[in-house]
Structure 1
C-alpha cells in the first residue's frame, strides 16, 4: 500500500508532462525514500495523461463496461475458416474507445493455472497484462457466457488477430466501477475505421511463441 501511494505521489508530481526517469529519481531523492522507492516503469504506468483522464472519467464508457452495451460494433460469422469476429457498424476516429476486454479479473498466477488446465488445442481467452501499479493481472473471458452477463457474447473476446493490419489496440485504464476501482482493458482505434471494417488487434504472439506448437497456425502471420 505504501509503495502504491508513493507511485501515485510521484506520478501526480510530474503534472501534465509525461514522466522522465531523471524526474522520478529526483522526486524520490527529495523525499528521502530508501525503501519502497517507485520504479520509473511503474510511475510511467500510473501516470495519467489528460486524454486518459477524460476516458477514465467518461460516464458513458463506464456504463458501457457495466452493461456490456457498445455502440457501433456487431458480431459477424466469417465462416468455418475464421469463425466469429467483430465489425464496425458506424465510423470510428483514431483514438475512439471501441469496447473492453470483458472478463473476471485475476492475479497472473491464477490466470496461468487456468491456462495450464485448458485442454490441448482449446482456444484461450485469457488476457495477461500489467495493471496501473505494476501488478501482473489476467482477465479471464474463458468462461462463456460470463457470470455477470449470462445472455451476452462479449465483443472483446471475439476480435480476431492481425499483426499487419490491426486497427485497434488494448490500453489499460483504471475505472471507478460500481464495485470499486479496477484495472480495465479498453480497445482504442489506432486509425480511422469505416463501416463494415473488421476490428482486429495484434495478440502479441508469433509462431515461435508456442515453442514450435504453433508453427502450423497460419493465421498468426495475418
Structure 2
C-alpha cells in the first residue's frame, strides 16, 4: 500500500478520535481491498491521535494513573483505547516553548495564585519559607514567578509573591530555576519559573540553590549556618 493509496483511503474514511473504523463491507463498497492493511493502519492513526489527545491535558505535570483512567473513561471509547499506564510511560515534561504558552502558567503568573503552596513561618534565622500542600512530581513540577531584584515585585506590587519566600539549600535543593519569556498583557516578560528536581511530598519545604555560601559575603554571613545546609 502506497502513501497515496492510504491518503485516498483517509479521504474516504477520515480518521477521527470518536468514530468507528470502516467495516469490511464499507471498504470493499468504496473500491478498496478487502484485506486488513487499510483497516489496521487506520486504527493505528486513530490510536496515535487518541494518545496525543490524552497527553495534551497534562503538559506541565504528570498525572496519576487513576486520574488518567478517569479521563479515558470519560472519553467513552469502547475499542482501540489506549491504556492509562501506556500514556503515563509516554509522558514527558513540556519543552520550554510549550511552557511559555501554557494557559495555566500564564494565568497563575498573572494572578500570582499557585495551587498546592503555602507560606510558612519557621523558627530561628530562616524566617518564612514555602511549603507544599500537595504532591509535586519531578517530571512535571509546579512553576512559580519570582522577581529577585526589587521589593515589592514590580508586576505584583500588592502581593507577597511565593518566589521570594523560597529558601536556599546547597545540599538538598528540590527545585531549580528555569528562565523563560512569557507573553503577559501583550508584553514579553522575562520570568524565572521553578521546576521540581525530585518528587515533593505534602509538608515538604521548597528549596533551591542560591549559588552562595557563608563565605560569599566577605565574612558577613559566617553566622548564617543555613547557607551551607
TM bin (shorter chain):
0.5 to 0.7
Q: What does 1:74-93 correspond to in 2, within 5 Å? A: 74-93=118-137
Give the alignment partner of residue 151 of structure 2, picking from 129, 135, 143.
143
Please tell me whether residue 214 in structure 1 is matched to residue 218 in structure 2.
no
Q: What does 1:83-122 correspond to in 2, within 5 Å? A: 83-103=127-147
How far is 1:50 from its partner?
A: 6.0
The CA deviation string for residues 116-152 of structure 1, in whole angstroms up to 9 with x for no partner, is xxxxxxxxxx3xxxxxxxxxxxxx2x423x4543442
Give the alignment partner of residue 203 of structure 2, picking from 196, 201, 213.
196
Please tell me whether residue 62 in structure 1 is matched to residue 62 in structure 2.
no
Q: What does 1:112-191 correspond to in 2, within 5 Å? A: 126=148, 140=149, 142-144=150-152, 146-191=153-198
Residue of structure 1 in register with 2:117 after alignment: 73
In the aligned structure 2, how far is the partner of 1:58 from the partner of 1:67? 14
2:95 counterpart SS class: helix
2:146 counterpart SS class: coil
**Contact (CA 8 Å) 2:109, 2:145: kept in 1 or not?**
no
TM-score (norm 1): 0.57
In the aligned structure 2, how far is the partner of 1:195 from the partner of 1:56? 27
Structure 1's consecutive aligned runs of 4 or more residues displaced over 4 angstroms after TM superposition are none
Q: 1:174 to 1:95 in 2, by over 3 A?
A: farther
Unaligned 5+ segments in structure 2 are 1-92
Once superposed, what is the RMSD of the aligned Cα atoms?
2.0
| Higher RCO, Cα 8 Å, sep 6+ | 1
Normalized per residue, the structure richer in strand is 1
TM-score (norm 2): 0.55
Q: 1:164 to 1:214 in 2, by over 3 A?
A: same
In the aligned structure 2, how far is the partner of 1:89 from the partner of 1:169? 19
Residue of structure 2 in register with 1:24 after alignment: none
**Max Rg structure:** 2
Unaligned 5+ segments in structure 1 are 1-48, 104-125, 127-139
2:130 counterpart SS class: strand
